[in-house]
Amino acid sequence: MAEAASLPNWPARLGEDLAAAYLGVSKTNFRGKWQSRQYPQPVREGNRLLWSRVQLDRFVEAQFGLTSANEQGDDTWADLR
């Protein structure tokens, strides 16, 4: 498990505690914001609510007016098509 934590883009899905920490807000603040639809919405898997790390990244990028490399036309992988 410790080896997996060092992988890029891991974990892909975050529970409420980790998603709140990832955004740098309290769990209470996070819960209030997603329940009022100000934050990205989770998916339910069994009893768990999960957020996509990529979705949270995009939310932060939009908050700060940033764009991802793909939105800027980065075609680094174009040579592999």
Residues 6+ away with beta carbon under 8 Å from 13:
50, 51, 52, 53
Rounded distance, CA 72 to CA 74, Å? 6
Tally of residues, the chain: 81
Summarised one tens digit per residue, pLDDT across range 20-56 is 999 999 999 999 999 999 999 999 999 999 999 999 9
The answer to whether the CB of 40 falls within 8 A of the CB of 51 is yes
Rounded distance, CA 9 to CA 40, Å? 18
| pTM for this entry | 0.73
